Amino acid sequence: MWRTQARTRQWFIERQLREHLRSSTSELLNCSPSTCSPSAGWRSLSWREFLLMRGWLVPEAFAAASPEQQDGAVRWLSSQLCFPLTLAAFWHSLAMDSKSDPPVLCIAGARAEGDVPLRMWAELALLVSRSLTLQFVGPELEDRRQTSLTLNSSTSISCAPFRSSLLHESDLDPLCLNGEHTLPSAYVLFNPGLGTPAASDTWTRSISALMHARRPILLTCFDERDAALDSKWLDTLTSSTPISLSPLCELNPFASLIPPWSRENEFYQHWLGAPGERMGCNRDAATAAQLDATAENSRVNVNHFDTRPPSRPHACQWVGMLHLH
């Protein structure tokens, strides 16, 4: 129980911080970025270069802002766009270019991904020059109806209604799909933490269902240690259908620049400050009190839950593929 409570508090603090970064740097953010496909060299750009090139930042306002505001804007945008850009950067691993129909991607165990606006997910469609459909399933998702967005004459993106449940308990369970709900083109697991005690129990049946589907599965990890834990857990999951995490896990150039919550992390110490204070961006009194109370109440449980060192890497930093043998 305390693991679940700590995870919820951790998620709340991370979400609040992202909102504070967004509101404090709103003047630097562009609500109407480019709807054209970028040049082929976008993968070699830094986050700042990419965001300016694609029009996610207002050039004049960004240039006139303080270094701290610039950093906050880039970090917030990276926390939102890391999911579509990770998929775009490793699109070749999913072998989607050989498919004639618009790809359908199922994002299992979704959490933060569900908060990302569809216009930001649309960057994936623009980067790979393909119309596509997204499916989100995860027990912590909030309800969202089906939405769609036309980007230009040849590219669009749609999002199916959210499924607020575990994959194997939803109507997207690969073991139960029929003609009405066909299997997606590929599955994506963003930072699932398969090898951690808090997550392994809930993933067992879902991973077994994914193995039955025999579709490409892209998985991200915080670092090599996370990848090793996930790989070890997968090795012990089943002996009848061996599955492994690709040994060629690669560093992701578009990992989020906001690290996961930790009281010892210098980034959170700087932005959250001491209780009653706020460094880096302003917040109203009600939000300040709520955030400080949550952080203070999380002190014991979060420290027990968070076993990684204070300098642990950022979300989606390592990317690998799951392979059936």
Decide: 108 and 210 in contact? Cβ < 8 Å: yes
Give pLDDT tens digits for 13-59. Answer: 777 888 888 898 999 999 889 999 888 899 999 999 999 999 999 99
Q: Specify the 3-state DSSP secondary structure of 18.
A: helix
Start-end of H helices in 238-272: 266-272
For 245, the 3-state DSSP assignment is strand
pLDDT tops 50 at residue 66: yes
Whether 265 shows a pLDDT value over 80: the answer reads no
* Average pLDDT of the residues in 272-287: 45
Residue-by-residue DSSP string for 181-219:
SPPPSEEEESS--TTSHHHHHHHHHHHHHHHHHT--EEE
pLDDT for res 274:
41
Spatial separation of the C-alpha atoms in residues 202 and 163, rounded to whole Å:
16
Average confidence (pLDDT) over 315-325: 72
In sequence order, what are the beta bridge partners of 251?
A: 318
CB distance 94 to 86 below 8 Å = no
Residue 302: per-residue pLDDT: 25
323, pLDDT greater than 60: yes
H/E run at residue 168 = none
pLDDT at 320: 80
Among 89-93, 157-161, 168-172, name the one with the lowest average pLDDT.
168-172
Percent of the chain whose pLDDT exceeds 90:
37
Per-residue pLDDT of 183-226, as tens digits, reads: 899 999 998 888 887 777 788 888 888 888 888 999 998 877 88
Question: How far apart are the C-alpha atoms of 324 and 241, rounded to whole Å?
Answer: 7
Beta bridge mates, 262: none
Q: Give 136's pLDDT tier (boundaries 50, 70, 90).
A: very high
Give the pLDDT band (50/70/90) at residue 249: low
Q: Which pLDDT band holds residue 304 (cuts at 50, 70, 90)?
A: very low
Give me the CATH topology for the region 82-262+315-322: Rossmann fold (3.40.50)
Q: Angle, nearest 10°, between helix axes 118-128 and 67-89?
A: 50
- C-alpha closest to that of 68 among 31, 33, 28: 28
The reported pLDDT for the residue numbered 271 is 61
